Amino acid sequence: MNKVLVLGASGGMGYALVNELTSRGIETIAFSRTRQKLERLFEGNGLVTVYNGDVFQKSELIKAAEQVTIIYHAINIPYSEWEEKHPIIMGNIVDTAKRQNTKLAIVDNIYAYGRGNGETVKEEFPKRPHTKKGKIRLKLENMAKQSGVPVLFAHFPDFYGPNAENTQIHYMLQSVVKNKRSMFVGDQKIAREYIFTPDGAKALVELSLRDDAYNQNWNIPGFGVITGKDIVQIVKEITGYRKKVSTATKNMIRFMGLFDKGMREFVEMLYLNENPVVLNGGKYEKIIGPVPRTSYEEGLRQTLEFMNARHHP
């Protein structure tokens, strides 16, 4: 196989994808805006070529994708920029894939599914998003599918893992690592699903290396559902953290949104803390094999080790 290109390589899933690809001996171009962060993340990995560029400059994407067989789209931007910028990014990516004759593997979330129905959600579940962000995700999916480029979509639950910083769990863990008072976002009694980013990367890479996986959607579930209370307990057992972890309620987040537009945009996604969407991985298991599943205990341990190494170098 020739080189592959990972867009958003400095983010949580992008970082995991680069590590998974290179662990299989695949030369990988790690693309992001910040060269210094990329060099720090992938220092010593001889199969990684660092490319700092701007996805809003199509010429830079086209240059980065020369002699590339697959482009992995793992770019994450702030919620407040989704409506304006995500369509531009997707347009540049599909145009680049078409010009360079590459396949496209896209990291996606569960927002386009809208509310769950009390059962695990299969790929054929009708997408009727009721939030602005869900509607944007569906629009982006349709853009890619209508481009004529071989494309696969991998739907994941919320992330956690090494270098996965823009996540609900990270919001809590960053205070734990600093031994400060911490907060868990949402009702701690509600059971939700999360995926350890190295598991998600393993599943997506496995799919992306199969020609018959393209022009399809794939659901990649996590280890199972878990309550916030259980996550907090696991974290305390791993770290010895003794402070109380309070709950960031919807009203608190609304108030925080008065001063933080990121929090303001987050409010509409809190339905996932009230009516969780849980993915069904039966299609993957039938065609590919067992879904990679790291226990929450082990996944949180590895995540905290990574965070501690960064906080106490």
* DSSP H or E stretch at residue 301: helix 296-311
Return the pLDDT at 258: 56
Structure tokens at 213: 């996986």
Same domain for 97 and 185, yes or no, is: no
What is the band of 49 on the pLDDT scale with cuts at 50, 70, 90? very high
Same domain for 261 and 287, yes or no, is: no
CA distance 163 to 10: 8
Same domain for 64 and 206, yes or no, is: yes
How many angstroms separate the Cα of 260 from the Cα of each of 70, 180, 254, 256, 266?
A: 37, 21, 10, 6, 10
Q: What range does the domain containing 248 cover?
A: 168-189+226-274
| Beta-carbon count within 10 A of 138 CB | 18
Burial 263-286 (b: 16+ CB within 10 A, else e): bbbbeebbbbbeebbbbbbebbee
What is the band of 257 on the pLDDT scale with cuts at 50, 70, 90? low
Place of tokens 């009708």: 126
Return the pLDDT at 237: 96
CATH number at 120 reads 3.40.50.720
DSSP E strand stretches across 158-263: 158-160, 182-185, 191-196, 216-219, 225-227, 245-248
- Residue 118, pLDDT > 90, answer no
77 part of a folded domain: yes
304 part of a folded domain: no
Question: pLDDT digits over 227-252, tens only?
Answer: 999 999 999 999 999 999 998 877 77
Angle of CA points 29, 31, 37, to nearest 5° = 110
CA distance 222 to 164: 15
Residues in Cβ contact with 63 at an 8 Å cutoff, skipping those fewer than 6 apart: 53
Please choose, from the candidates 209, 270, 212, 235, the residue with its C-alpha nearest in 3D space to the C-alpha of residue 70: 209
Average pLDDT over residues 242-271: 74
Structure tokens at 174: 């960053």
Return the pLDDT at 2: 78
Residues in Cβ contact with 188 at an 8 Å cutoff, skipping those fewer than 6 apart: 227, 228, 229, 232, 245, 247
What integer best gives the mean pLDDT of the chain? 92
% of the chain beyond a pLDDT of 70: 95
Same domain for 212 and 78, yes or no, is: yes
- Residue 25, pLDDT > 80, answer yes
- Residue 151, pLDDT > 90, answer yes
What is the band of 1 on the pLDDT scale with cuts at 50, 70, 90? low
What is the band of 268 on the pLDDT scale with cuts at 50, 70, 90? confident
307 part of a folded domain: no
- Residue 313, pLDDT > 60, answer no
- Residue 153, pLDDT > 90, answer yes
- Residue 119, pLDDT > 90, answer no
Return the pLDDT at 260: 67
Return the pLDDT at 270: 76
CA distance 256 to 248: 10
Average pLDDT over residues 290-311: 94
Same domain for 66 and 151, yes or no, is: yes
Same domain for 99 and 151, yes or no, is: yes
Please choose, from the candidates 39, 50, 294, 74, the residue with its C-alpha nearest in 3D space to the C-alpha of residue 205: 74
CA distance 87 to 246: 37
How many angstroms separate the Cα of 47 from the Cα of each of 22, 103, 194, 236, 267?
A: 6, 20, 29, 37, 40
Average pLDDT over residues 134-155: 96
47 part of a folded domain: yes
Same domain for 178 and 215, yes or no, is: no
What is the band of 206 on the pLDDT scale with cuts at 50, 70, 90? very high
Return the pLDDT at 80: 86
CA distance 140 to 143: 5
